[in-house]
Amino acid sequence: MTLRLPGRIITSTIEIWKCSNLKIIVGTPTSDSSNRLGTVQLDPTLTNVDIVFPNPSTIGKIVLAPLLSNDKTNFGFKGLRLQAGEEGEAIELADDEGNLFNPQEGVRIRPGEDGTTLPAQLVVSFDHGEGGKWKMEGLERGAMDYPIMS
């Protein structure tokens, strides 16, 4: 299914949970930064999900909540991709085997040993300056805190 969200999202938040074979197109090529989506929350399980931002200026924060279960066999994401710009190359946040990919460091994070040091939530953002690079970092917060992202 392809879901097109060409206008402003009033809550500035989208949550995607338990989906497969989904493509979401956020904004249009002519959208400006005043239509920036604040947060996209990605919760397991997701399989074959693409999120496209035709205009990179509309990209806010993408919060990823990997499964850090005791069996350590997967993070709950397979085939998860982000794309900045209509012609931009999609980055793969999770491959088809369920490994996560840190675009900033260029490394795969595998369930099991690699995943034991992951924070409960990761924040993926896009550098809107020159070069336009994606980065991933852990979301720090206390047990009862609500995350505030600038």
> What is the mean pLDDT of each successive set of 10 residues along the chain, which is 150 residues long?
92 94 94 86 96 93 85 85 92 93 89 74 87 86 56
What are the backbone dihedrals phi and psi of residue 73, each rounded to the nearest 5 degrees, phi first? -95, -25
Q: What is the pLDDT of residue 74?
A: 80
**DSSP secondary structure code for residue 34 in this structure:** G
Distance CA 74, CA 62 (A): 20
Q: What is the pLDDT of residue 26?
A: 94
Q: What is the pLDDT of residue 17?
A: 95
Q: Which of 85, 94, 86, 25 is nearest to 64 (CA)?
A: 94
Q: What stretches of the chain show up as alpha helix (H) in DSSP?
A: none
Q: What is the pLDDT of residue 120?
A: 84
- Per-residue pLDDT reduced to its tens digit, 120-139: 899 999 987 767 899 999 88
Q: What is the pLDDT of residue 36?
A: 85
What are the backbone dihedrals phi and psi of residue 39, each rounded to the nearest 5 degrees, phi first? -140, 135
Q: What is the pLDDT of residue 48?
A: 98
Location of structure tokens 């953002």: 125
Q: Positive or negative, the Cα torsion across 146, 106, 23, 3?
A: positive
Residue 128 · residue 108 · CB < 8 Å: no
Q: What is the pLDDT of residue 93?
A: 95
In the chain the first and final C-alpha atoms are separated, in Å, by 31
